Amino acid sequence: MKFLDEAKIWVKAGDGGNGVVAFRRERFIEYGGPDGGNGGKGGDIVVEAVPGLNTLIDYRYTQHFKARKGGNGAGADRTGAGSEDVVLKVPLGTVVLAEDKETVLADMVEPGQRVVICRGGDGGHGNAHFKTSTNRAPRRADPGWPGEERWLWLRMKLIADAGLVGLPNAGKSTFLSVVSAAKPKIADYPFTTLHPQLGVVRLNATEEFVLADIPGLIEGAAEGAGLGTRFLGHVERCAVLLHLIDGSQPDPVRAYETVRTELAEYGGGLAEKPEILALNKLDAMTPQARASRVKALERATGRPVRLISGATQEGVPAVLRELADTVYRHREAEAETRTA
């Protein structure tokens, strides 16, 4: 299935049905009076979060959605039938934006969550509604109200607890493959990962978290270089970032600063998220290079640097433990916020 994380669609709720002018006509009833019914309500446009979906590909080729008009009223005070809603099913984590791509209309993060994006029009009144003591035979009936319509942007943001960031070939896909059951593409050239990958990391029978591998950033990504920063939206929900740096390259400080600059340029609070810094490919470094590069990174960043090897898994369990602790602290803080 093709991965698609953004789509633009047009939606229109159904118009309300028309009211009608009708009079009661029955044998032996001389003054029947008005009995025109009201129109039915038009269908709503509803967005529903559905577990199991992981792409917006359904909205790549079908981009217009219109609910049906409500039924017209009828004589004998019969109200027109209301129309069924049109339900748009989206993956968990989808953000519904207005046409300006900035106004958030809904954030679909709970399974089964439903939000009415466009409300169907109410039905018009039939002439029975306008009967009064002084107007015994009204001949007025109103048309139904129009349903709302608008252009929408659907933008999917993966719901992951932790995110992997780094330059291309920093070893992110290898790391994800050894700590989870995910099978990302791994090769010795840049940009082997072309879309985000998710993996579930299980530390034991009771502890687990979701880890997202984001395609590599390069200098100028905020201006569109390489794959740009388009996929960084998928780590906006993460509690912690694991920043992997290729230890086999001669200048790890520059690699770190490049990614940090692009995170800051993107915004979304990514630069302020908790970050664990790991020098990867420990197996490809000499003891002297290992010591000098760790020292340079710690001096430049002012934070501890972990040494790991995705290939041999050396140092990986300790990093996973630190990620899990940060994730669980974040979950506890969110739970306290919700109950406050």
- Asked if residue 213 belongs to a known ligand binding site, the reply is yes
Q: What is the pLDDT of residue 191?
A: 44
Q: Which of 146, 152, 150, 151 is nearest to 14 (CA)?
A: 146
Q: Distance between CA atoms of 106 and 113, rounded to whole angstroms? A: 10
- Asked if residue 311 belongs to a known ligand binding site, the reply is yes
Q: What is the pLDDT of residue 219?
A: 56
- Asked if residue 216 belongs to a known ligand binding site, the reply is yes
- Asked if residue 229 belongs to a known ligand binding site, the reply is no
Question: Residue ranges per domain, the chain?
Answer: 1-156, 162-339
Q: Which of 227, 226, 221, 106 is nearest to 155 (CA)?
A: 106
- Asked if residue 280 belongs to a known ligand binding site, the reply is yes
- Asked if residue 94 belongs to a known ligand binding site, the reply is no
- Asked if residue 232 belongs to a known ligand binding site, the reply is no
Instruction: Report yes or no: 244 and 171 within 8 Å, Cβ to Cβ.
Output: yes
Q: Distance between CA atoms of 43 and 72, rounded to whole angstroms? A: 14
- Asked if residue 105 belongs to a known ligand binding site, the reply is no
Domain over 1-156 is classified CATH 2.40.110.10:
no
Q: What is the pLDDT of residue 216?
A: 63
- Asked if residue 185 belongs to a known ligand binding site, the reply is no
Written as tens digits, the pLDDT of the chain (340 aa) is 456 778 999 999 999 999 999 998 888 777 788 999 999 999 999 999 998 787 888 898 899 999 999 999 999 999 999 999 999 999 888 999 999 988 999 999 888 999 999 999 999 999 999 999 889 889 999 999 999 999 999 988 877 888 888 888 788 888 888 888 756 554 444 444 456 777 888 888 788 888 888 776 655 544 554 444 567 777 788 889 999 998 888 888 998 888 888 888 877 788 888 899 999 888 888 888 888 998 999 998 888 999 988 888 888 899 999 999 998 888 888 778 777 6
- Asked if residue 187 belongs to a known ligand binding site, the reply is no
Copy the structure tokens of residue 202. 């299980």
- Asked if residue 167 belongs to a known ligand binding site, the reply is yes
Q: Which residues pair with 7 in a beta bridge?
A: 154
Q: What is the pLDDT of residue 251?
A: 87
- Asked if residue 194 belongs to a known ligand binding site, the reply is yes
- Asked if residue 323 belongs to a known ligand binding site, the reply is no
CA atoms within 13 A on the CB side of 29: 8
- Asked if residue 44 belongs to a known ligand binding site, the reply is no
- Asked if residue 192 belongs to a known ligand binding site, the reply is yes
**Span 162-339 CATH architecture:** 3-Layer(aba) Sandwich (3.40)
- Asked if residue 173 belongs to a known ligand binding site, the reply is yes
Map tokens 């529903």 to a residue: 48
pTM of this structure: 0.74
Q: What is the pLDDT of residue 250?
A: 83
Q: 137 φ, ψ to 5°?
A: -135, 65
- How far does CA 238 lie from the centroid of its chain? 13
Three-state secondary-structure class, residue 177: helix
Task: Catalogue the E-assigned strands of the chain.
Answer: 6-12, 45-50, 64-66, 86-91, 94-97, 104-108, 114-118, 149-156, 162-165, 197-202, 208-213, 240-246, 275-280, 306-307
- Asked if residue 282 belongs to a known ligand binding site, the reply is yes
Residue 1 exposed, middle or buried by CB count within 10 Å (0-12, 13-18, 19+): exposed
- Asked if residue 214 belongs to a known ligand binding site, the reply is yes
